[in-house]
Structure 1
């Protein structure tokens, strides 16, 4: 039984990661012309928001483990990127200016935490509302 569960998780993570990575790739293609790593910033902030939302939602709506793994580890993990954040920060520092790099890092890190918090609060609020609606009906 444990092997079946592990297998489902791995497949779900692989599918989620393929989707998340593809979305990240296309977003970067559309934003390359700006010369600023805005695509990576958008990916990391929106990915943090989504992961926060899912975490908040899942406190009320408990999904199967493979669903959580596929959406959290797979989709959000494939969509967001720490390595590109680091690489872009170094590029901005060496090729442009230290302050541009610092602004990018601050917006990414603090913005990501704030987005995750907002996502969590929204997910909890909507999850709680769904549970209350179900209790009213049932």
Structure 2
């Protein structure tokens, strides 16, 4: 039951952060979703790297990983935004958005993982 509660609290916090970011940025290009997915990848990488070295309680992992990061990031909005850009005849921005989000998301996750391991005490 602790895991379920932790995921719910983490998910609510992540969703709230995503909402705040999106309300502060212009709506003509999905920069908010791009920022959320890239920084969320970094955060999940950090947590995964840390958890690979340290062993927290299951509810902490669930609350921060599936909850916070799951609520903060959004692949479905990324996909819908890409389709919206493409169908709006914004083909180059759609391709740029896909490339930047995916490429930087993966790079930032790798950087985060290495940083998390280092912060957790494992020497790389």
> Is the shorter-chain TM-score for this pair beyond 0.5, marking a shared fold?
yes
Q: Give TM-score scaled by structure 2 length.
A: 0.95
Bigger share in helix: 1
Match of 1:10 in 2: 4
The CA RMSD measured in Å over matched residues stands at 1.3
Match of 2:98 in 1: 105
- State the distance in 2 between where 1:96 and 1:72 align: 36
Match of 2:79 in 1: 86
- State the distance in 2 between where 1:17 and 1:34 align: 23
- State the distance in 2 between where 1:111 and 1:121 align: 15
Superposition deviation, residue 96 in structure 1: 4.0
Match of 2:36 in 1: 43
5+ unaligned residues in a row in structure 1: which ranges? Answer: 1-6, 132-138
Q: Does structure 1 residue 56 correspond to structure 2 residue 56?
A: no
5+ unaligned residues in a row in structure 2: which ranges? Answer: none
Larger Rg: 1
Length, aligned pairs only:
123
Q: Does structure 1 residue 28 correspond to structure 2 residue 22?
A: yes
- State the distance in 2 between where 1:27 and 1:96 align: 26
- State the distance in 1 between where 2:36 and 2:89 align: 22
Helix, strand or coil at the partner of 2:56: coil
